[in-house]
Amino acid sequence: MASRQPASLLRVGLAQVNPRVGDIAANLDMVAHYVALAEEAGCDLVAFPELTLSGYPPEDLVLKAGFVADNRAALEKVAARTGRCAVVVGFVDVADDERVAQTSARPARLFNAAALCRNGAIVGVYHKQLLPNYSVFDEVRYFAPGHDDNTLYDVAGVAVSLSICEDVWVADGPLARQRAAGAQVAININGSPFDRHKGGVRESTVLARAVETGMPVAYVNQVCGQDELVFDGGSFVADAHGRVIARAAQFAEELLVVDVPVGVTRGASPSGAASARIAETLNELDQVLAALALGTRDYVRKNGFTDVVIGLSGGIDSALVAAVAVEALGAQHVHGVSMPSRYSSEGSRTDAADLARNLGIELLTVPIEPAFGAYLEMTRDAFDGRAADLTEENLQSRVRGTTLMALSNKFGWMVLTTGNKSELAVGYFTLYGDSVGGFAVIKDIFKTDVYALARRVNERARREIIPTATLTKPPSAELRPDQRDDQSLPPYDVLDSVLALYVEQDRTAAEIVALGHDAELVRRIVRLVDNNEYKRRQLAPGVRVTTKAFGKDRRLPITNAYRG
């Protein structure tokens, strides 16, 4: 075991782990593994993220009294295995007067809690005081707020306080009160989801609390995909002067071991301090690509799949999805399918083949012409006297969707859909056609960003992964002769600028026009967005990378007469 540090230091391990919601036994084993690593590293304390034992967010699982009881039993097992190294772990707690064996009734008061365990016992429990109830958070639905808890814990002669996520976001809040009670080091455990616009907000907030309180703050975050949400890790320690002295990598599991200086005056360096790694923060495009890969990997694997299948049209969207899938799962687990019709260009077929070759994935070719022709023949009498229109276009898309689902059924592959946020916003997709599947990888990525991310894929590889022709040709669904997206939609740079205001910023049409956008164009886009809410409700879940994603964030009524 590593040697102990001088009294001016507290050796803290931040266990940046990947729990699985509802898999309490596996989460318990994971905690035991990282506790052993922390003990081997000579840590005085190891901290795990918010609700690690239950997985975060557990949502309505906490309404099951048996689930709450099982997660509490797991905490008892964690405590029983502890020694000198203190363990801080998140779990769902129930009020003392209601802690009973499993019943069919929901406990009346639940808490988002952190326990400190040591020497075979639960030393104390902290209940989260500030419950977020905005964006993707709805903790008020499940938990009661904890009361002012300034309980401090002696860890290696240092007074340590506990807090959970939102507690650190408010000035003059729980951390300030804990400091006033004599705390020397704050441990803050988190389940903080990624979004591309969050930037350094987390760190700046925690650094502000460190300066405000004059004590170090150790911030630990989980790293995982959970349905639409992605958690990017990036755990770190701020010293008492608001400086980052250690940072874990983003989007990777690890134990970050930090000698945290306690009571050190400004400019002084505590003797015996081990230098900790300060991982570089990824640039925005690389963060988004990493989030897409992590979200896809965890959704596929945690739901019992090993392989995925993607319809490869030769277009930019399916190319990016395939590249992300290979990053997430490995080329051997990704299967592409080319499904040409009478309207498919030769270039699209060769672009799909080039992409598959560049990625090293299997490419199947399943022409849809026989099935499409059969549908036309089957409906000929019913459609007699009516000209071909969108109906026939959608038939092709639905044949492709059925084909992908047949492959999924036969081989056990999950279908990844390829629609982007621009198309989903305005309804430019076919229900039960190109929208079918288990997971929508780029559901929260505007079309203009699809191109930027695709170029970044090639830049990082230092070779052509996504074919140049795919990047440069006009986008097309190829469901009728010489079709292009810009025949049905405004140019994507114009469309996306309006969608960013209407969808992500909740501006009204009048406000968007006042900002200088063409009034007729804005009304058309807003009408398309509003009219297609019912279609979006039927989409597969997908990775959330913005602060306003369809599904988790943006929840508008389908039946809705307001036109602002």
85 has catalytic annotation: no
520 has catalytic annotation: no
Terminal C-alpha separation, the chain: 65
Nearest Cα neighbor of 368 from 353, 381, 355, 349 is 349
Do 93 and 127 contact (CB within 8 A), yes or no? yes
**Residue that is written with structure tokens 């592409």 in the block:** 336
Among 43, 117, 165, 224, the active-site one is 165
Instruction: Say how far residue 243 (Cα) sits from the centre of its chain.
Output: 27
**Rounded to 5 degrees, what angle do the CA atoms 485, 490, 493 make?**
100
Strand partners, 142: none
**247 by DSSP, 3-state: which?**
strand
Q: For 419-461, give the DSSP string.
A: --HHHHHHT-S-TTTTT-SSEETTTT--HHHHHHHHHHHHHHH
HSE, CB side, 13 Å, CA atoms: give it for residue 33.
14
128 has catalytic annotation: yes
User: What φ, ψ does residue 206 adopt, rounded to 5°?
Assistant: -70, -40
Torsion of CA 309, 315, 320, 322, to 10 degrees: 20
**Residue that is written with structure tokens 């988004």 in the block:** 288
In whole angstroms, give the CA distance from residue 546 to residue 543: 9
**34 by DSSP, 3-state: which?**
helix
Among 39, 43, 85, 128, the active-site one is 128
In whole angstroms, give the CA distance from residue 533 to residue 536: 5
Strand partners, 188: 163, 219
394: burial class by Cβ within 10 Å (0-12, 13-18, 19+)?
A: middle
Q: Where would I find the H helices in 360-436?
A: 369-378, 390-411, 421-426
Q: Where would I find the H helices in 143-256?
A: 174-180, 201-213
Instruction: Say how far residue 325 (Cα) sits from the centre of its chain.
Output: 15
Beta strand 121-127 pairing with 110-118 = antiparallel
Among 39, 50, 254, 423, the active-site one is 50
Task: List active site positions.
Answer: 50, 128, 165
